Structure 1
């Protein structure tokens, strides 16, 4: 198979998923250093990975609807790619892909395709189950004749972001970062439970820092957590950029969070993740490199809400039911905190 001279990646969102695309970018660049690589990406997500070298980024404003799609088409006017890797199956993304001209149009297998996905592609990745999302995205290079064997991120972090993080987290005191809010609200834990774990970490001599974006949902959750804390943490909610958060994660040994974008950001820089999983399967969407420190109540949730073990429900099923995260106790999270702290030599 001849080497492609140009490839277009279409994965616009979300934060966690675009971190999963970066290893694929590295795989393609290693195999074909001279290839022109273009990535269609969301506005927010571009702030995190838009400075990855060797990639031309085209921003898609999903709030602009059809006008946003036309803007992408205009930015790509006159270009015809050797291959389009259509890594998002939502209807909006499938429609967006029609504005991209490519000879080879690679998409998901039948089981993972929806919303007319099969109508906008002419080739599919291998049909597999039991894969982590990152491995599924990595398999998009296989129809091109490659195999992703190495997983590498190296997302650039500006020196000024590192300097800002050092100002917030000075010295060698071990830091527990807490990012309590997922945009999927049924994945979120109770504020008072976060507070109890944070108070435990504070009592053990850890610095505790609350982080999150500027949205009303994240501010509301942060305020509820703060109201339940006996030991006030440093509250940086809404005060950092994505690059500054990445720099803080690079300095902190541990992050407490539900299934969310910061979970996957932390994984890219080696920060251990105390992930809270009941609504989603950590083996599919947990921190890719190391899931030992996650609380995993996914099987228990499947038995409670579906009446069968997780092994008997479709791979990737979400159990986003009211109260599902209550299956995770404070003691469950403290147990993982202590185990991870011992592993890091910080107990």
Structure 2
């Protein structure tokens, strides 16, 4: 017989290791849990890179698991938590690695996804499953965990921690003039087909510079593909219109850059969700993934959405005929996005959103609150 759901949990565990965008989308669920049970301890088991983004999140104890450490790292984590028993474990990672890790955690109740949303047989590792929520956005799927526990106030709140040194880093890169952040590349995982064209980005940079007086700051990781793409974009742009910071920032520095930016442009990758979390106007570029599921939640009206066209062109189906979350892994999918469409969306986004002064009200730096 399974234990009942806790009415007043004293210690809540969250298991979500990756990725950057996903952990940003999970923060409002953490805030909802904190509002409901302000005295509860919350322990979040998280990935190494993701921790570097969220370090300092108020009211949260982090336990870092580096997936590169494999089973040895899991055993070390189990030893660290051997004397800890959670009232409830929210198993939010749909991966067999995370499910194996969960086996070594002591919890009265384990909650996971419903069968329609679960992957890698995750429902075998949990006692309770979420109620069905067809065609839910990732952020809503996370919030469903709080709702199952009885949380009714699902107001979106992030209050992301950004230390002062990160703003100093951002200022040293961007200068005082207003700017866009463009993060041109998604992650370098095999089969990831989310990158738009160099020429397209260069056209947007030129338009922002000439028509809006905005320089563009390019951000991204330091892998060779991202550096090469940044160099190619910069080579096509007018001098002074672009700052190539790819590979030259910390994650907190990117968060600070995003916080101070006039707008952010990116495909479906971490910075598009970081921008959403900071409430910075966000223009997402989507063709490989459905923005209704993974788009920047607050700015979905400004997404350039070529996903239906990609499904039709490369899967030979209508969106309604493919499974929720189906990806279009064709190398030409993102080419269905035109520079003219992106520029029109950017003009609309800038006209619709009024610049806000920076808010330095949090104890660790600046934060936007709902």
TM class, shorter-length: over 0.9
Paired position in structure 2 for 1:283: 292
| SS of 2:350 mapped into structure 1 | helix
Distance change in 2, residues 1:110/1:148 (3 Å): farther
Name the CA distance, whole Å, in 2 between partners of 1:255 and 1:274.
6
Contact 1:138/1:148 (CA < 8 Å) preserved in 2? no
Contact 2:10/2:41 (CA < 8 Å) preserved in 1? yes
| SS of 2:283 mapped into structure 1 | strand
Paired position in structure 1 for 2:365: none
Distance change in 2, residues 1:157/1:31 (3 Å): same
| SS of 1:9 mapped into structure 2 | strand
- Unaligned runs of at least 5 residues, structure 1: none
Residue 149 (structure 1) aligned with residue 157 (structure 2): no
Contact 2:202/2:234 (CA < 8 Å) preserved in 1? yes
Distance change in 2, residues 1:96/1:217 (3 Å): farther
1:83-98 pair list within 5 angstroms = 83-98=88-103
Residue 186 (structure 1) aligned with residue 211 (structure 2): no
- More divergent stretch after superposition (194-203 vs 229-238): 229-238
Name the CA distance, whole Å, in 2 between partners of 1:67 and 1:148.
40
Name the CA distance, whole Å, in 1 between partners of 2:273 and 2:154.
19
Contact 2:205/2:215 (CA < 8 Å) preserved in 1? no
Distance change in 2, residues 1:133/1:219 (3 Å): same
- Output the aligned Cα RMSD: 1.6
- More divergent stretch after superposition (259-268 vs 335-344): 335-344
Paired position in structure 2 for 1:250: 259
Aligned counterpart in structure 2 of residue 337 of structure 1, from 342, 346, 350: 346
Deviations along 1:102-142, whole A, 9 cap, x unmatched?
A: 11100000011122312211110111112110010011112
Higher relative contact order (CA 8 A, sep 6+): 2
Aligned counterpart in structure 2 of residue 207 of structure 1, from 194, 215, 220: 215
Aligned counterpart in structure 2 of residue 305 of structure 1, from 314, 335, 346: 314
- Unaligned runs of at least 5 residues, structure 2: 1-5, 356-370
TM-score (norm 2): 0.89
Query: What is the deviation of 1:79?
Result: 0.9
Residue 196 (structure 1) aligned with residue 203 (structure 2): yes
| SS of 2:297 mapped into structure 1 | coil
TM-score (norm 1): 0.95
| SS of 1:341 mapped into structure 2 | helix
Name the CA distance, whole Å, in 1 between partners of 2:159 and 2:354.
25
Distance change in 2, residues 1:343/1:142 (3 Å): closer
Aligned counterpart in structure 1 of residue 178 of structure 2, from 148, 168, 174: 174
Query: What is the deviation of 1:345?
Result: 6.0
Query: What is the deviation of 1:155?
Result: 0.8
| SS of 1:40 mapped into structure 2 | strand
